[in-house]
Structure 1
Amino acid sequence: MNIEQARFNMIEQQIRPWDVLDQDVLNLLSIVKRENFVPAAYRNIAFADLEIPLAAGQHMLFPRVEARVLQELAVKKHEVVLEIGAGSGYMAALLAARGRSVTSVEIEPELAKLAEENLAANGVSNAQVVLGDGALGWKEGEPYDVICVSGGLPVMPQEFLDQLKIGGRLAAFVGNAPVMKAQIITRVDEKQFRVADIFETLIPPLKNAVQPSRFKF
């Protein structure tokens, strides 16, 4: 397998056609080695248009989804980032390359260990993995400039919005099957938020995600 050719093909055939045109993001996909964050058994398909399986029944997001979210969040060098769902650590590595620091909260011990090891092995020193339940965000370190939720949310908990700084952005996959919306939510001021629907997708729900109320009248 020619890894560099496969990486080039991923960027040109999957990611660029998905309106990921920010050259800094495209360059970053060449710098942060995705194959180093993929379980060894799947290394040969590290660049395929697939959700690669991880431990505990979890999956890596599609490469095009990771890249599009990264582009839309537009993380700046001075910004503090919260990620919910560390997975293999790949998205945390991408976010860390753009921001000041990343806290990645992972509920599955096996994945928290994997992400921590992958980040260390790839020299990512400004991202930490915390074992915990981030279904309502993570109060330690709030407020955040950027929040990236890597699992589905049937509804958006107010707690996430409260943990954003004014001017901060939150990326989340909101709704239920068959169609969910990838959203970028920007905090305009203390009480107002602007919601942009970026694309439609289907992402497994975050563990312990808040469910919609089911009142009957």
Structure 2
Amino acid sequence: MRLLIVEDEPSLGQQLRNTLEGAGYAVDLATDGEDGHFLGSTENYDAVVLDLGLPTIDGLTVLDRWRKEGRSFPVLVLTARDSWSDKVAGLDAGADDYLAKPFQSEELIARLRALIRRASGNASSELIAGDVRLDTRSGKVTLKGDPVKLTAQEYKLLSYLLHHKGKVVSRTELIEHIYDQDFDRDSNTIEVFVTRIRKKLGADVITTIRGLGYSLDEPGR
């Protein structure tokens, strides 16, 4: 999953980036409202962490512009403002959740996991396709109850497909959502990771739709 952080405080922004990358996310970081708005308008994100007190363009304006542009990714507002009126303003501008500073990293990650699950239509923290189960809380993957060890990138790819089970996901979409903006998008690593996942979880776990991409669905469907 790919996230955008828009935070103008350098130390906090880098801390957030390190924390979320450590949790398995691909992360882009913007340090002012103008750059944040541009990235959110031109790149595909699974969720955004947005500070309200930003230079150049304030966070509420950035959020309002995204929603008017039809950008529907979930947004977690992160701010030092903790009055009820600020919370209402953020939610009315289109925020999906609100977290006041200071905060615990574990709570931030849990809230983002929940936002991403709900945005893709998954209510449970456990994603299931046949005998394959992925627990988004623990990061564990099992096949018929037995643990399966995946690399970080294999996990990201499998997680994205499970979040979008039953849909055809293009190679370009996978690259956009599991790598940050500096990744070489001409790389063939997606094909390599799909092959590795099939070896670990079964040849039929991911279906190749020629010319369109990949799909993960319940067996027999």
Task: Give the TM-score range, shorter chain.
Answer: under 0.3
Higher share of residues assigned strand: 1
For normalisation by structure 1, the TM-score amounts to 0.28
Structure with the higher helix share, 1 or 2: 2
User: Relative contact order: is structure 1 or structure 2 higher (C-alpha 8 Å, sep ≥ 6)?
Assistant: 2
